[in-house]
Amino acid sequence: GGGGGGGGGGGGGGEGDEDDELLAPAMRTMSDSDADEEEEGAAAAAASEPPPAAPPPVDEDVFVTVLGEFYNWAAERKESFESDLGAAEAAFSALRLFLGEEALTEPEQLFEPLHKFLVRFDAVAKEVEDAARESARQEARQARRQAKQGPKGP
C-alpha cells in the first residue's frame, strides 16, 4: 500500500489567491484617507440628521463564513497531507529494507552514518585540494628559481 500520494500536495501558483479571497472579508481595513472622509461625512450628517436607528440584524457573521470556508479548505489539505505522509512512510520503509536496516525506525538513525561519512569526505577532499595547491606553489617557486639561475652550463 501507500501508492501515489503526490497529487494534491503541491504548492502551485494560484492557491494563495484563493486563500486571499477566503480571508478578504475578515482582513478588510480602511485606509487613512477613507477614514478622514468618513469622519468629515459623519460630522456633517450628525449636524443635519437625527441619529440613525440600530443597524439591521446581520443574517450571518462574517467570521462564521470565513471560518467555515477555512475549515473546509483545511480539511482538504489535511487529507492530502495524510496521503503524502503515508507515501513518505512507505518510501522510508522500502529504503530501510533496501539498506538492510530493518530495525531502524527514525530517519535520523538511518541517515546519520551517511551524514558523518559525507562530512568526513568533504574534509578529506578539502585537505587533498589544499595539498595539491601547495604542491603546485612549490613547483612554481622551484621553476622560478631555476629560471633565475639560468641554464646550467657544461
Indicate yes or no: pTM above 0.95: no
Residues 42-95 have pLDDT tens digits of 555 555 666 666 655 556 678 888 898 999 999 999 999 999 999 999 999 898
What pLDDT is stored for residue 102 in this prediction?
Answer: 80
Is the pLDDT reported for residue 110 higher than 80? yes
Is the pLDDT reported for residue 13 higher than 50? no
| Contact assessment for residue 63 and residue 26, using Cβ atoms and an 8 Å cutoff | yes
Q: What percent of the chain has pLDDT over 70?
A: 58
Total length of the chain: 154
Residue 137 grid coordinates: 606553489
What pLDDT is stored for residue 23 in this prediction?
Answer: 53
